């Protein structure tokens, strides 16, 4: 029996999950990316990679929480590197009303007093009087997760074609287009949202889980990556400028880390980087079937790419298998 051929365009978090899911469904998959080393160039590399459907519910539409719970379950089943330590949300004294509001807008959390917070994260013992703990959430370290998916695609028989654009021969297959802003000429309602982040290293602070600090401009967070490394992110600026991190953003990000713990003031700054997230008007990622079913556009990851990528992959694979329509897939 001849296996159906599929070309997946774009080797970020969305494209890797699409390629892996389709290959495991016995499709013959070719993964194409214009970058020679796409894992080092994709916007997914800049992500905090928090698998946090309940925290995201504070600002995100209901679909993100609902399907994010599914995405978290798929990650846990597929990837042994998921860190299942939950997540924390804190606020400085003047912003405690915002923490109260956050609690009312979200679910599946526990309110911690100072003693309970100290037991969970000793290095925050003297920093905050209360916190929200989301015990069922998780996170992954971005480089390790991307590398794992790449290896899994290899093991599943995906054929890699890096360093080239889509070619005419690819049109002979079904195309699953996951190129983010690279596909915007086909998606009139797609926009870019700039995100900046820092990678720092400190042996003087130890966190076991992501800590989000409520901030008037951006939802700032510190994510432990192991090896005394912490990702500090992320700005959300309505701009498609992918240039270097601005002084203002660097100060806000470093200030957030310092607010969480003054010892971060002595941390080494390993990397500053910026990326541009693709987003639809409602900030919900979706798959769209176009060209009479010959192409499927999977895009608009915004800040939910890691959380919803496996759900979108299942949605596309189910559609190609049986024609089933998922709420995140449009025809």
Q: Is residue 52 part of a domain?
A: no
Take residue 321 and report the two structure tokens written for it. 């298998």
Task: Write out the DSSP string of 278-303.
Answer: EE-TT---EEEEEGGGTEEEEE--TT
Take residue 68 and report the two structure tokens written for it. 């994010």
**208 and 258: one domain?**
yes
Q: Which residues contact 299 (CB under 8 A, 6 or more apart)?
A: 14, 177, 178, 179, 180, 183, 187, 190, 278, 280, 285, 286, 288
**30 and 127: one domain?**
no
Final residue of a domain: which of 260, 279, 298? 279
Q: Is residue 167 part of a domain?
A: yes
In 3D, which of 279, 205, 195 has the Cα closest to residue 237? 195
* CATH code where residue 255 lies: 3.30.9.10
Q: Is residue 262 part of a domain?
A: yes
Low-confidence ranges of the chain (pLDDT < 50): 1
**43 and 130: one domain?**
no
- Its domain, for residue 214, covers 87-135+191-279
**117 and 151: one domain?**
no
Final residue of a domain: which of 246, 261, 279? 279
Q: Which pLDDT score, from 0 to 100, does residue 2 have?
A: 55
**126 and 206: one domain?**
yes
How many structural domains compose the chain?
A: 2
**195 and 258: one domain?**
yes
How far, in Å, are 3, 9, 55, 96, 311 from residue 92 at the CA level?
Answer: 57, 44, 18, 6, 35
| CA geometry: angle 246, 273, 311, nearest 5 deg | 125
Q: Which pLDDT score, from 0 to 100, does residue 1 have?
A: 46
Q: Is residue 12 part of a domain?
A: yes
**156 and 115: one domain?**
no
- Full-model pTM: 0.95
Q: Which residues contact 280 (CB under 8 A, 6 or more apart)?
A: 189, 190, 191, 286, 299, 300, 302
Q: Is residue 78 part of a domain?
A: no
**274 and 288: one domain?**
no
d(CA 330, CA 210): 34
**123 and 17: one domain?**
no
* CATH code where residue 287 lies: 3.50.50.60
Q: Is residue 168 part of a domain?
A: yes
pLDDT in tens, 218-230: 778 999 999 999 9
Q: Is residue 74 part of a domain?
A: no
**130 and 93: one domain?**
yes
Task: Write out the DSSP string of 52-120.
Answer: -HHHHTTTS-HHHHHHHHHHHHHHHHH-TT-B---EEEE--GGGHHHHHHHHHH--S-EEEEHHHHHHH
d(CA 191, CA 181): 8
Q: Residue 176: left (phi > 0), alpha (psi -120 to 50), or beta? A: beta
pLDDT in tens, 247-272: 999 999 999 999 999 999 999 999 99
Q: Is residue 69 part of a domain?
A: no
**156 and 251: one domain?**
no
**129 and 212: one domain?**
yes
d(CA 125, CA 137): 21
């Amino acid at each position: 029996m001849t296996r159906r051929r599929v070309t997946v365009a774009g080797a970020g978090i969305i494209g890797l999950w699409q390629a892996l899911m389709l290959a495991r469904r016995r499709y013959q998959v070719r993964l194409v990316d214009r970058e020679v080393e796409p894992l080092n160039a994709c916007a997914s590399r800049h992500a905090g990679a928090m698998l946090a459907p309940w925290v995201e519910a504070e600002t995100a539409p209901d679909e993100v929480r609902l399907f994010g719970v599914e995405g978290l379950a798929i990650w846990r089943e597929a990837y042994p590197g998921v860190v299942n330590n939950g997540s924390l949300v804190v606020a400085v004294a003047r912003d405690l009303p915002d923490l109260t509001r956050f609690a009312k807008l979200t679910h599946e959390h526990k309110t911690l007093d100072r003693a309970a917070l100290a037991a969970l994260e000793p290095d925050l013992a003297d920093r905050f009087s209360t916190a929200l703990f989301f015990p069922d959430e998780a996170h992954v370290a971005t480089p390790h997760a991307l590398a794992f998916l790449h290896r899994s695609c290899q093991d599943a028989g995906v054929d890699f074609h890096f360093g080239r654009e889509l070619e005419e021969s690819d049109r002979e297959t079904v195309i699953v287009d996951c190129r983010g802003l690279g596909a915007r000429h086909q998606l009139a309602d797609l926009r870019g949202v700039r995100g900046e982040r820092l990678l720092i290293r400190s042996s003087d602070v130890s966190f076991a889980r992501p800590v989000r600090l409520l901030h008037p401009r951006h939802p700032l967070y510190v994510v432990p990556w192991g090896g005394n490394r912490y990702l500090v992110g992320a700005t959300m600026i309505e701009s498609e400028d992918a240039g270097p991190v601005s002084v203002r953003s660097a100060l806000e990000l470093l200030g957030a880390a310092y607010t969480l713990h003054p010892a971060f003031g002595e941390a080494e700054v390993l990397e500053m980087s910026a990326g541009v997230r693709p987003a639809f008007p409602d900030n919900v990622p979706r798959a769209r079937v176009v060209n009479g079913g010959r192409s499927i556009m999977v895009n608009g990851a915004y800040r939910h790419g890691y959380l919803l990528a496996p759900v979108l992959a299942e949605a596309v694979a189910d559609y190609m298998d049986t024609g089933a329509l998922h709420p995140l897939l449009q025809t």
